[in-house]
Amino acid sequence: MLIPNFVFSSLKKQKSQQIQGKRQQKSYLFLLPFYCFLLTFFAGGCVVVLDSNKTPEQATKPATTTAPESASKPLTATEFAALEQSVHEQVNQYRASQKLPPLKLDPRISEVCRQHSKGMASEGVPFGHEGFEQRANAIEKSIAYRSVAENVAYNSGYSNPGKQAVEGWIKSPGHQKNMVGNFDLTGIGIVKNAKGEYYFTQIFVRGQ
């Protein structure tokens, strides 16, 4: 029986500025990551298993699914770009259904996202939000922002991994909140490793 794997997590950072005399201070609000495991059965309904009690250290990857041979075939740069564009369009379609304006895809943010997805895919960094502060700072060098948030996911064994990632985010309150947040820019980075696992990073930005 084929059991595709899907794991996702979200994080948000808000930046406010308070002026005290001539000194400018920044305060940050972090939402704790929300870790879930979702098992989906095709052609016979679906079963969802949520485990929000695990800490990042306790959360382990489910066993890698046995996927079709095509799952391990490397994707071209064009195919990755198409997949990222598809995720972007699906997120905007969902925002439209909530009567919200679309997000503009920014290549500078997407490049930051790809680097994080690459790190997770190669297991150079653990799955999650490690280095989020650095990514936010990297974005701030080229884009002045008021707030920034991040959703990450990975899955394997799906014929449409992008659709699965977006649907998983929509079903998770923490991720859905980021998707419909007061943002105007976004970036998406997707990387596939040799095991056939797709790693997704989406960063949401509200410019000043």
Instruction: Return all residues near 121 (Cβ < 8 A) that are at least 6 apart.
Output: 154, 191, 192, 193, 197, 199
Rg from Cα positions in the chain? 17
Mean pLDDT computed over every residue of the chain: 75
Q: Which of 7, 24, 8 is nearest to 16 (CA)?
A: 24
Q: How many CB atoms lie within 10 A of CB 9?
A: 23
First to last CA, the chain: 50
d(CA 48, CA 51): 10
Domain span holding position 167: 5-207
**9 touches 35 (CB < 8 A):** yes
Q: What is the DSSP letter of 196?
A: S
Question: Which residue type, as a one-letter code, is found at position 137?
Answer: N
- Token pair 């959703």 in the structure block, residue: 151
- The backbone torsions φ and ψ at residue 46, rounded to the nearest 5 degrees and listed phi first, read -145, 155
Tell me, what's the pLDDT at 92? 99
**185-192 and 104-105 strand pairing:** parallel
Instruction: Please indicate whether residue 15 or residue 61 has the higher confidence score (pLDDT).
Output: 15
The pLDDT confidence band at residue 2, using thresholds 50, 70 and 90, is: very low
Q: Is the pLDDT of residue 153 over 80?
A: yes
Q: How many CB atoms lie within 10 A of CB 42?
A: 13
What CATH number corresponds to the domain at position 163?
A: 3.40.33.10
- The backbone torsions φ and ψ at residue 15, rounded to the nearest 5 degrees and listed phi first, read -120, 125
Tell me the pLDDT tens digit for each residue of 177-190.
Answer: 999 999 999 999 99
Tell me, what's the pLDDT at 73? 74
pTM (predicted TM-score): 0.72
The C-alpha torsion from 175 through 95 and 71 to 188, rounded to 10°, is -80
- Percent over 70 (pLDDT), the chain: 65
Tell me the pLDDT tens digit for each residue of 113-128.
Answer: 999 999 999 999 999 9
Tell me the pLDDT tens digit for each residue of 63-75.
Answer: 233 344 444 677 8
Tell me, what's the pLDDT at 46? 21
d(CA 26, CA 55): 28
Q: What is the count of structural domains for the chain? A: 1
- Token pair 């998406």 in the structure block, residue: 188
